[in-house]
Amino acid sequence: MYRKKEAIFRFYEELNDFLPIYRRKKPFVYSFTGTPAVKDAVEALGVPHTEIDLILVNGKSVDFRYQLKNDDKVSVYPVFESLDISETTHLRAVVLRIPKFVLDVHLGKLARKLRMLGFDALFRNGLFSQGISAC
């Protein structure tokens, strides 16, 4: 029988769109057993790995195969556009920024699938009713 372990996760910028509101933009505890790969933990939390460009565990850059340990502190970042992170472990071969999609109301599942495929998809409930134009 495996002993229950915990890691602290923090997701940054648009990766928070995939998380429940109570987990957005702040550190939270993730409980696990065994030694799952960080990629499996991230996807179990609802964030597609295709959206991620950098993962830091205890301040060090790791790849998706890194196996979580008890008390790890995990920071997960999307694609960096204005900061040079060339000395770190890149998790994406190519930055995917074209094409871009804007989705509203009932298209949340489509937004998630597009993101899992590597497309840039903005989803906000009621986006167009707030006077924002897609053009």
- CA separation, residue 108 to residues 23, 82, 102, 115 (Å): 18, 28, 11, 11
Q: How far is CA 17 from CA 9, 58, 66, 111, 122, in A?
A: 15, 24, 24, 10, 9
Whether the bond between 78 and the residue before it is cis, its omega within 30 degrees of 0, is: no
Task: Give the domain range for residue 116.
Answer: 100-130
Question: Contacts from 25-28 at CB under 8 Å and sequence distance 24+?
Answer: 27/73
What's the pLDDT at 113? 84
Q: Are residues 71 and 104 in the same domain?
A: no
* 90, 53 Cβ separation under 8 angstroms: yes
Q: Is position 56 within any domain?
A: yes
Dump pLDDT digits (tens) for 53-102: 899 999 999 999 999 999 999 999 998 765 565 666 666 665 555 667 77
Q: Where are the alpha helices (DSSP H) in 1-135?
A: 38-44, 108-116
**Average pLDDT of 38-50?**
95
The answer to whether 7 touches 41, Cβ cutoff 8 Å, is yes
Give me the torsion for CA of 24, 25, 31, 37, rounded to 10°: 100
Asked if residue 69 and residue 27 are part of one domain, the reply reads yes
Burial-class residue 7 by CB neighbours within 10 Å (0-12, 13-18, 19+). buried
Mean pLDDT of the chain: 83
Residues 70 and 106 in one domain: no
Q: Give the pLDDT confidence score for residue 135 in this predicted structure.
A: 46
Regarding whether 70 and 11 lie in a shared domain, the answer is yes
Mean pLDDT, residues 42-51 taken together:
93
Q: Are residues 116 and 52 in the same domain?
A: no
pLDDT digits (tens, 9 = 90+) for 99-119: 677 777 777 788 888 888 777
Domain assignment present for 85: no
